[in-house]
Amino acid sequence: MSKGINSRKVAVIGTGFVGSSSAFALMESGLFTEMVLIDADKNRAEGEALDISHGLPFARPMKIAAGDYDDIVDAAIIVVTAGAGQKPGETRLDLVKKNVAIFKSIIPEIAKRNCKGILLIVANPVDILTQVAVKLSGFPENRVFGSGTTLDSARLKYLLGEHLQVDARSVHAWIIGEHGDSEIVAWSSANVSGVPISEFCEMRGYTKHDEHMEEIAQGVKNSAYKIIEKKKATYYGVAMAVRRICEAIIRDEKSVLPVSSIQHDTYGIEGVTLSMPAIVGKDGIEKQVKIKLNEKEQEALKKSAGALKKVLADLDI
């Protein structure tokens, strides 16, 4: 972490559903003593700051206030959730133009103050916006990354845990690639506490692997659509993912998390932002961990990168 950084300070830009739930989760985490909330709608940020502060007597003391960009220069982490959300039936990629325009008003404000903290991008489409944030900020790539498929991987673990009647935390499985329709389950490395997933399934009496794998992969992919259809937005799951990533950074845990960053020499993919597990610590991404993929997964990953590359090529950044 650079000099001039307050490692106990976090900023959240965008205090809609995702920003406010993330701020609430961060308050509860006890990781920070100071939190600044910024939103284009200042009243919203002020209201959330007050509401969340009223929970402090049940948690740990900290200062939570609505603020401006001048207030976040020394923040260790700047979480960017500002942007329109998906409407029912809309894909994450449909959001791209609206949210790139919003990023053009936010990221330069951070860059011109030469903030030294880590930019954690959450707004969608998160892979594209992470790449846009790297470009607009000029910050080193390790310091600008997206929550990526951290949420999707949690959904996968949850569904596998339910299916196999085992604690989701004992399931080790990754969703990689785009946080979106072309995401991939890395089945070949999935396991439950070291037992390959298909062996564990058999232990639990399941033998129709292909059918169940497809069902679970679709379940993860359609989670957001399903929730948006029912309650218009998703936010609690992602808030926990934000909390987990912040924890890995602030505590310098060197945790391996499936975050989104510009890939270099990843199964032939170069210069495209997508999710691959990476070691996350106090300086952000320490190292991308190129997990072993079978041929089918490699092909799917290249396809995912190709889809993202096409969107990037159309952007005016």
Ligand X SMILES: NC(=O)c1ccc[n+]([C@@H]2O[C@H](COP(=O)([O-])OP(=O)(O)OC[C@H]3O[C@@H](n4cnc5c(N)ncnc54)[C@H](O)[C@@H]3O)[C@@H](O)[C@H]2O)c1
**DSSP track, the chain:** --TT-EEEEEEEE--SHHHHHHHHHHHHHT--SEEEEE-SSHHHHHHHHHHHHTTGGGS---EEEE--GGGGTTEEEEEE--SPPPPTT--TGGGHHHHHHHHHHHHHHHHHTT--SEEEE-SSSHHHHHHHHHHHH---GGGEEE-TTHHHHHHHHHHHHHHHTS-GGGEE--EEB-SSTT-EE-GGG-EETTEEHHHHHHHTT---HHHHHHHHHHHHHTHHHHHHHHHS---HHHHHHHHHHHHHHHTT--EEE--EEE-SSBTTB-S-EEE--EEEETTEEEEE------HHHHHHHHHHHHHHHHHHHT---
Is residue 125 annotated as involved in ligand binding? yes
Cα dihedral across residues 183, 168, 259, 74: positive or negative? positive
Q: Is 39 within any annotated ligand binding site?
A: yes
Q: Which of residues 130-149 bind ligand X (CB under 6 A)?
A: 147
105 known member of a binding site: yes
**Shortest reach from residue 86's CB to ligand X, in Å:** 5
Is residue 153 annotated as involved in ligand binding? yes
> Cβ 19 to ligand X, closest distance in Å?
6
Taking CB under 6 A as the criterion, the residue among 7, 29, 86, 223 binding ligand X is 86
Q: Pick one of 7, 29, 124, 131: the residue that binds ligand X (CB under 6 A).
A: 124
Nearer to ligand X, 146 or 281 (CB): 146
Q: Report the site for ligand X in 232-291 (rule: CB under 6 A).
A: 233-235, 238
Q: Which of 12, 102, 133, 186 binds ligand X (CB under 6 A)?
A: 102
**223 forms part of the interface with ligand X (CB under 6 A):** no
Q: Is 251 annotated as a binding residue?
A: no
Signed CA dihedral, 65, 136, 129, 75: sign only: negative
> Cβ closer to ligand X: 85 or 281?
85
Q: Which of 7, 81, 130, 153 binds ligand X (CB under 6 A)?
A: 81
Q: Which of the following is catalytic: 54, 163, 179, 209?
A: 179
Question: Any known ligand binding at 157?
Answer: yes
Examine residue 105 and tell whether it contacts ligand X (CB under 6 A): yes
User: Catalytic annotation on 179?
Assistant: yes
Q: Which is nearer to ligand X, 147 or 273 (CB)?
A: 147
Range in contact with ligand X (rule: CB under 6 A) among 54-62, 98-106, 187-195, 251-259: 98-106
Q: Which is nearer to ligand X, 29 or 81 (CB)?
A: 81
Q: Identify which of residues 65 and 166 has a Cβ nearer to ligand X in the complex.
A: 65
Q: Are 46 and 70 in contact (CB under 8 A)?
A: no
Under 8 Å between Cβ of 16 and 81:
yes
234 marked as part of a ligand binding site:
yes
Contact range with ligand X by CB under 6 A, out of 53-61, 67-75, 181-189, 230-238 = 230-238
CB of 54 to ligand X, least distance (A): 20
Task: Give, as ranges, the residues between 156 and 195 that touch ligand X (CB under 6 A).
Answer: 179
Per-residue burial over 100-116, b = 16 or more CB atoms within 10 Å of its CB, e = otherwise: bebbeebbeebeeeebb
Considering the rule CB under 6 A, would residue 222 count as an interface residue with ligand X?
no
Would you name the residues annotated as active-site residues?
A: 179
State the residues that interact with ligand X by CB under 6 A.
Answer: 13-19, 38-41, 44, 81-86, 95, 99, 102, 105-106, 122-124, 126, 147, 151, 179, 233-235, 238
